Amino acid sequence: MNIFNKFIWFFVVALFSLLVTLAACTKSPQNEETGHMVITFQHSVGQQPLEYDTIKYVNAAGNPYMVTNIQYFISDICLHKSNGDSILLDKDNNIHYVDTGLPKTWLWDLNDSIPAGQYSSLSFTFGINKKENISLRFPNPPESGMFWPEYLGGGYHYMKLNGKWRDTANVIRPFNFHLGIGQIYDPTGNITQFVQNYFKVTLPKSSFSISGGQTVQVSLDMDVNEWFENPNVYNFNVRGGKIM
């Protein structure tokens, strides 16, 4: 059983309320007045910015831990209007790689000219959808290092969250908390089916307007602790540190 198929990633959008649901995108409407959007990515634990390589955090299971690095893909950024219209942004280059070790990846400057108007929500895919998650899509690093083994479904990891935790014997152990395509096995251990674990996130209370010539800046903040507690508590001492 793949433990991630019920996990939800919680985000905070700067200045806006937070709610996670499902959404879909349609073609962009035409408008002569357009604006622009830039998305920045941040990482935290609770209300504090994430600090790396120091065991100062404790998850809901009581495991002391630290984070060494996080790498993931965000794709299919969409803006939604209250009348049901949606805009898929940067549709020709709609996959963005984020790496906590590479500052240049912390900003996504979307290429689209966005029609001016009022928008009721923003949505995106965490990971890469089945159609776009193709092996060898990224021939060069750093994205190429996110490859997902062919025998496990191919394509690319959605996320690598790496670090260390202190076990009950006070031993520091590494963990690789990785998310990608899952598998269903038969009693003999053969894979019978693949499970697409990417998921949609919508922030429906992130209402904002864009005026002609305006650049809107949005910040997405990943709370690392949420991976270990919502909706299920993850205990490294029970499940171990190598999760794929």
Task: Quote the pLDDT of residue 209.
Answer: 86
Mean pLDDT across 40-48: 93
Is the confidence at residue 18, as pLDDT, over 50?
Answer: no
195 confidence band (pLDDT: 50, 70, 90): very high
Which phi and psi (to 5°) does residue 220 adopt? -110, 125
Percent residues over pLDDT 90 in the chain: 68
Domain containing 108: what range? 3-26+35-138+147-243
Q: What pLDDT digit, counting tens, does each position of 221-230 carry?
A: 999 999 999 8
Q: What pLDDT digit, counting tens, does each position of 71-118 carry?
A: 999 999 999 998 989 999 988 889 999 999 999 999 999 987 899 999
Pairing of the two strands 121-126 and 64-80: antiparallel
Task: Quote the pLDDT of residue 127.
Answer: 97
Cα-based torsion angle of the residue sequence 93, 99, 104, 108 in order, rounded to the nearest 10 degrees: 40
Task: For the beta carbon of residue 122, count every other beta carbon within 10 angstroms.
Answer: 26
3-state secondary structure of 134: coil
How many structural domains are present in the chain?
1
Q: How far apart are CA 206 and CA 32, in angstroms?
A: 24
Cβ atoms of residues 75 and 125 within 8 Å: yes
Which phi and psi (to 5°) does residue 135 adopt? -55, 140
Is the confidence at residue 23, as pLDDT, over 50?
Answer: no
Is the confidence at residue 31, as pLDDT, over 70?
Answer: no
Cα–Cα nearest to 14, from 219, 201, 224: 219
The pTM of the full predicted model, rounded to 2 decimals, is 0.85
